[in-house]
Amino acid sequence: MQVEIFKFESEEEQMFNEIRTVEIEGEIWFVAANVTNILGYSNGRDAVDSYCRKKGVVKHEIPTQNGNQIVTLIKESNVYRLIFESKLESAEKFQDWLFDEVIPSIRKKGFYGKIKRSKSPNFYLRYKDNLHKIDRNYFSVISELFVTLNAELEKVGYEIPDRGETGKQIMPDISVGIMFSNYLKKNNSEFNGSHKYYDHSFPDERPDVEARIYPVEALPIFRRFVFDKWIPENAQKYFKDRDPIALDYLPKLLVG
């Protein structure tokens, strides 16, 4: 399931609040807690029980900051009801933004904003298509990133999209791979120069390229590099111009 995340600026709090949507059988559903929070309800559950029609309320599992969780989702018609009952002055602004901009964009393009997030990312497709080429005694940068960086981001509710705002495909393995090679050389690691190559293929018509694989013994060093160097020092810069939404999630990978 693809969760779409939007940011609405609240006039009362002068801050951006997150609202998440999911599409179920062609219909847009909203995370009720996000809506009630934006609209100023002190008890969101009571607000849903009081103002929303039951047939437009469901429980559904979605990815969140703390892993997959069951949340309450509401249909568009119930969002209207909560807006109507809200006491906040910004409720009308929220209504205009949501139903004049966000929803029409989703229906017209299949997504809101500059990035289509429902398409399977090339990052995943390249991982799947190339995994069988990796010697069991070695690891590739993309295969390891998929089960570390990608998995950790999904735990906190973010999925790496296929393309960024500029339209170019997002391939963090290239950035990480180049920097890891330089890192081994700079630190005179015993694994500097220990790599081999394999023919890395793409899900489009681009020709294969030679990509490095490293001995599995170097895996602990690679993981420390990703979480101690690349994420805190380079991830913000990497995602800033590609998918700024990621910037809200990267700090969560540094906790602990």
Q: Measured between alpha carbons, how far is residue 65 from residues 72, 159, 253 in Å? A: 16, 12, 10
- Which pLDDT score, from 0 to 100, does residue 110 have? 56
What DSSP string runs through 227-248? IIIIIIIIIHHHHHTT-GGGGG
Cα dist from 9 to 47, 133, 228, whole Å: 21, 47, 33
Q: What is the pLDDT of residue 90?
A: 86
Tens of pLDDT along 58-116?
Answer: 999 887 666 788 999 999 889 989 998 998 888 888 888 887 777 776 665 555 456 66
For residue 117, pLDDT over 90 is answered with no
Nearest to 119 by CA among 181, 187, 188, 203: 203
- 124-140 confidence digits (pLDDT tens): 889 989 999 999 999 99
Task: Name the 3-class secondary structure at 29.
Answer: strand
What pLDDT shows up at residue 118?
Answer: 64
Q: What is the mean pLDDT of residues 132-152?
A: 89
The answer on pLDDT for 26 being more than 70 is: no
Decide: helix, strand or coil at residue 254.
Answer: coil
Structure tokens belonging to residue 222 = 């690679």
The predicted model scores a pTM of 0.59
- Please say if the pLDDT value at position 10 is more than 90: no
pLDDT tens track for 178-188: 999 999 999 99
Q: Report pLDDT for 57.
A: 95
Residue 140's pLDDT is 94
Check whether 223 has a pLDDT greater than 90: yes
Which has the higher per-residue pLDDT, 158 or 195? 195
Supply 114's token pair.
């500059």
The sign of the dihedral angle between the CA atoms of 88, 7, 149, 241 is negative
The mean pLDDT value for 227-253 works out to 87
Q: Is the dihedral of CA 236, 240, 242, 244 positive or negative?
A: positive
The pLDDT > 70 percentage for the chain reads 88
